[in-house]
Amino acid sequence: MIGSTVVIIDLQHRGKAPPNQADVGASRDIDGDGKIGPHEVETHLVPGYAGPCNEVLFGAGHQVVWFTDGSYSDRHKRAAKIAGSVGPTGRVAYLACHLNAGAEGKLQRALTLYDARSGSGKTLATSIASALNHVDALRRGRGSHVFAARDSDWTRRPLNTIRGIYSAPSNISGVCLEPLFLDGFPAPTWALLAEVGEHLGQGIDAWLRRDIGT
């Protein structure tokens, strides 16, 4: 039974079909030992914030659905079916969960991206960014930022992670989450990931409690 407020936590990079079944996303030598261990790859670390986010949302009375397999387009179609099942008075948030790389030791910042065509996606992204700005490492670092994803610039790749959500029923909105950099400062420890997840859940909860937008 699908509830009226649903959050889809999509652990992207995981569960891809051949020839991409070995995709682990970004990776960095976090502990500085000269090699990449299994604990230093995106797919291993993302659950560190997705799990605590789940706990916050479940505790707030929302239903949480996890995606861990399939192509991105297939996942978007499954998300659309869920949105259709809750009816026009329900609301669904779709989270394409990632971690970034390329900070090269610079202060941490969070990126939340939405489809530039989606007004409600922008509202969801803004609610998340506002909540993430309460994370100490981000508040003392470079902060939490919202970007509109489109085909014409660097945001094209993040757009592909949520592209199919825009053509789904209007009661679902999607965002691409890049809340930390693997090589940012401070390093993404389990404690920091958990703090990010808790605040992420709070931002999504705030959005779900608002009236359905466009």
Domain boundaries along the sequence of the chain: 5-208
Partnered with residue 172 across adjacent β-strands are: 92
Taking residues 146-157, report their average pLDDT: 97
Task: Output the pLDDT for position 1.
Answer: 52
Task: Output the pLDDT for position 211.
Answer: 57
Task: Output the pLDDT for position 95.
Answer: 98
Name the pLDDT band for 56 (thresholds 50, 70, 90): very high
Residue 188, classified by CB atoms within 10 Å of its CB into exposed (0-12), middle (13-18) or buried (19+), is buried
Distant-in-sequence, close-in-space partners of 80: CB < 8 Å, separation ≥ 6? 164, 165, 167, 168, 169, 172
Query: Do 101 and 27 contact (CB within 8 A), yes or no?
Result: yes
Taking residues 4-27, report their average pLDDT: 87
Global pTM value? 0.94
In CATH, which of 3.40.50.300, 3.40.630.40, 3.40.50.150, 3.30.70.100 is domain 5-208? 3.40.630.40
Q: Is the predicted pLDDT of residue 17 greater than 90, yes or no?
A: no
Task: Output the pLDDT for position 30.
Answer: 86
**Strands 110-115 and 172-178, bridge-based pairing:** antiparallel
Distance CA 208, CA 113 (A): 18
Taking residues 63-83, report their average pLDDT: 96
Taking residues 47-69, report their average pLDDT: 97
